[in-house]
């Protein structure tokens, strides 16, 4: 106990240097735990991009490709699904609800998705959270559109504003459906998912804007007005993909197998959670790189602490000699230096943890609003405590070097004058 008191008083006498060392260790711990927290929350948010959907069905291709274009609006389908097949499968006795999706158009770089009103009722994200409206309501008539939060923010759109959909999914549309403009009737709250960057219209609207098109090309010399198109039969002939919610998750694999063996046309059904995990495993190397950088920053902070202690040893040789002269043994000197380093590591780690959660408390609303990433502020997880323990153990190990150096100082060496 006397060694601990002596270590604390010694650090207080060198409080400026000790404070700078504490700052370095604290910031290192903040970075390490902060990156780990963001890594876990990002993984969780990625996994919750879609929630409550049991199966996603598309044309037969790869599971990752189907997930990318149906959920993340990246890429295009290899083929469409006939409306007849969709109706047959969605009326399956084990299917509770279905959401059809039609992709292929865009507006100023944002994907346009045709769907039904059921999308706003059944689609869920982040632990089964429903979509909610910041302004307006779902589309009810043919030429109405609902914007994701990022679309409205980046383009500065408001309710009742007219927009024109472009043909194709490119950032710049050379061909646009100018004769059939849409009115913005709703703007969704931010979700932190691809929904934020999507423009939602009805399936019938997708059919209406392509009523005078064939094979992706507008028929020359033939044009159907918006009013005339609205009076026509606009039942879709095909869709890009659809989502299914089942009556019981116990029947997921049975329905999946039936869809994958569907004889009318080649289809692929995937379980979103499994496909998301596969995709994360493919792109998750970045998070590991960030964690590695954080570990190196902590090591730099601890190395700085050891450097400071080693540098000060030469100046403290007379102090060590005086302690030896009043009865301190070499092991006491070893314990003093080790105690100083361990105290700095403990206090620095504690301050880093407090600073991290303080920053999270103030930054949580901003991060959720700007990035749609909800960071849970609760007790530190077991993994975070393990990282803290690893930092403290590393501090103890690296402090053995200056402690052993001080241990070897002798009384005569401390009293001698070196020229």
Q: pLDDT tens across 222-252, in order?
A: 678 888 888 888 889 999 999 999 999 889 9
pLDDT for residue 283: 67
Q: Is the dihedral of CA 365, 40, 292, 295 positive or negative?
A: positive
> Is residue 208 within 8 Å of residue 180, measured between CB atoms?
yes
pLDDT for residue 219: 64
pLDDT value at 411 more than 50: no
Average pLDDT in the chain: 83
Q: How far, in Å, CA of 67 to CA of 310, rounded?
A: 56
Q: Which residues of 116-147 are buried (b: 16+ CB within 10 A; e: fewer)?
A: beebbebbbbbeeeebeeeebebbeebbbbbb
Higher-scoring residue by pLDDT: 2, 152: 152
Q: What is the pTM of this model?
A: 0.72
pLDDT for residue 255: 95
Higher-scoring residue by pLDDT: 373, 106: 106
Q: How long a stretch of residues is the chain?
A: 419
> Is residue 90 within 8 Å of residue 298, measured between CB atoms?
no
> Is residue 94 within 8 Å of residue 248, measured between CB atoms?
yes
- Residue 72 CB neighbour total at 10 angstroms: 16
> Is residue 255 within 8 Å of residue 93, measured between CB atoms?
no
pLDDT value at 68 more than 50: yes
pLDDT value at 393 more than 70: yes
pLDDT for residue 243: 97
pLDDT category of residue 374 using cuts at 50, 70 and 90: low
pLDDT value at 195 more than 90: yes
3-state secondary structure of 402: helix
pLDDT tens digits along 105-121: 999 889 999 999 999 99
In sequence order, which residues have a C-beta less than 8 Å from that of residue 331 and are 6 or more positions away? 407
pLDDT for residue 302: 78
């Amino acid at each position: 106990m006397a060694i601990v008191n002596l270590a604390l008083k010694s650090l207080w006498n060198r409080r400026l240097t000790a404070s700078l060392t504490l700052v370095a260790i604290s910031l290192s711990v903040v970075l390490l735990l902060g990156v780990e927290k963001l890594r876990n929350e990002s993984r969780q948010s990625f996994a919750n991009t879609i929630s409550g959907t049991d199966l996603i069905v598309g044309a037969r291709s790869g599971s990752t490709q189907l997930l990318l274009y149906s959920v993340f609006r990246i890429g295009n389908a290899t083929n469409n699904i006939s409306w007849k097949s969709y109706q047959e499968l969605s009326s399956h006795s084990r299917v509770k609800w279905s959401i059809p999706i039609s992709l292929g158009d865009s507006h100023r770089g944002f994907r346009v998705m045709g769907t039904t009103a059921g999308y706003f009722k059944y689609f869920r994200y982040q632990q089964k959270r429903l979509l909610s409206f910041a302004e307006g309501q779902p589309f009810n008539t043919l030429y109405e559109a609902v914007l994701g939060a990022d679309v409205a923010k980046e383009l500065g759109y408001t309710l009742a504003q007219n927009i024109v959909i472009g043909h194709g999914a490119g950032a710049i549309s050379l061909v646009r459906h100018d004769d059939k403009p849409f009115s913005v009737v709703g703007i969704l709250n931010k979700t932190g998912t691809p929904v934020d960057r999507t423009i939602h219209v009805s399936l019938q609207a997708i059919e209406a804007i392509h009523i005078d098109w064939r094979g992706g090309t507008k028929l020359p010399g033939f044009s159907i007005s918006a009013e005339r198109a609205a009076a026509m039969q606009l039942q879709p002939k095909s869709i890009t993909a659809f989502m299914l919610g089942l009556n019981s998750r116990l029947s997921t694999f049975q329905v999946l197998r039936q869809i994958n063996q569907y004889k009318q046309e080649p289809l692929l059904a995937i379980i979103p959670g499994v496909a998301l995990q596969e995709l994360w495993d493919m792109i998750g190397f970045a998070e590991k790189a960030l964690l590695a950088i954080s570990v190196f920053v902590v090591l730099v902070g601890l190395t700085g602490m050891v450097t400071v202690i080693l540098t000060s040893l030469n100046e403290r040789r007379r102090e060590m000699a005086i302690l030896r002269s009043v009865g301190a043994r070499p092991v006491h000197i070893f314990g003093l230096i080790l105690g100083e380093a361990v105290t700095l590591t403990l206090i620095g780690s504690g301050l880093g943890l407090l600073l991290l959660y303080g920053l999270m408390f103030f930054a949580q609303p901003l991060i959720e609003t700007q990035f749609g990433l909800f960071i849970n502020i609760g007790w530190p997880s077991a993994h975070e405590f393990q990282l803290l323990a690893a930092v403290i153990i590393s501090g103890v190990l690296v402090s053995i070097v200056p402690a052993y150096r001080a241990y070897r100082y002798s009384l005569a060496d401390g009293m001698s004058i070196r020229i």
